[in-house]
Amino acid sequence: MLDRSRTYGRSPRDLRPSPYDASTGHYWLMRRDLGLPRRAVVWPHSLHEVEFTTENAFAVHQLFMLGTCHGGGRVGDFTTWLNAFESDPEFDRQLCIVIADPLGVVAVAQCWTSAFIRNLVVHPRAQRRGVGLALLDRVFEAFAERREGHVDLKVMECNLTARHLYERAGMQYVQRCELEPR
């Protein structure tokens, strides 16, 4: 029997779960090689990038909290999370990419300085419009500008929608991992 808790095969391209692999007890490490060609960032109509600020931080955090309800993951309480931008070297305001429409914040990607996508969420009112793919393209652009070779993230195995998005963005499966009990 194949042990998928470790990397295997000649390359990450050999590693791909089936659509039926949807364990709630496992997650995947995925990676995007930034040496590969990238798409230009194109935002859907009425959407635009805005700076992450103290004024929109609460709306950003609320969207992350909504995302944890639907896709898993963890986000600290608002004060702890916001203070980390001042105290944690992995947090960088320039790597918190915020997308808005006329009603407010609709998508956010928070990345760490170690070329890791910590959280990525698209509000339900903006889903299925190409926002997630454009947001990933923007993340890849940001890390390419920083001369990083690749970008990583973790995704719950049972989050088939996110996995499909990441596959479409050119991310490859690297390793299947078991969740540690909380």
Q: What is the CATH number of the domain that holds 163?
A: 3.40.630.30
Alpha helices (runs of H) in the chain, residue ranges in sequence order? 54-71, 78-87, 131-145, 160-168
Residue 55: exposure state from Cβ atoms within 10 A (0-12, 13-18, ≥19): exposed
Query: How many Cβ atoms sit within 10 Å of the Cβ of residue 2?
Result: 7
| Total domain count, the chain | 1
CA-nearest of 155, 157, 148, 181 to 169 is: 155
Note whether residue 100 is domain-resident.
Answer: yes
Domain membership of residue 56 as a residue range: 12-178
Pairing of strands 116-122, 172-178: unpaired
* Residue 24, in any domain of the structure: yes
* Residue 71 resides in a domain: yes
pLDDT of the chain, 182 residues: tens digit per residue: 233 444 444 455 567 887 778 888 899 999 999 999 999 999 999 999 999 999 999 999 999 999 888 766 788 899 999 999 999 999 999 999 999 999 999 999 999 999 999 999 999 999 999 999 999 999 999 999 999 999 999 999 999 999 999 999 999 999 999 988 76
Tokens of 86: 């001042």
Predicted pLDDT at 71: 66
Owner of token pair 């990419």: 97
From CA 75, how far away is CA 66, in angstroms rounded? Answer: 10
pLDDT value at position 7? 44
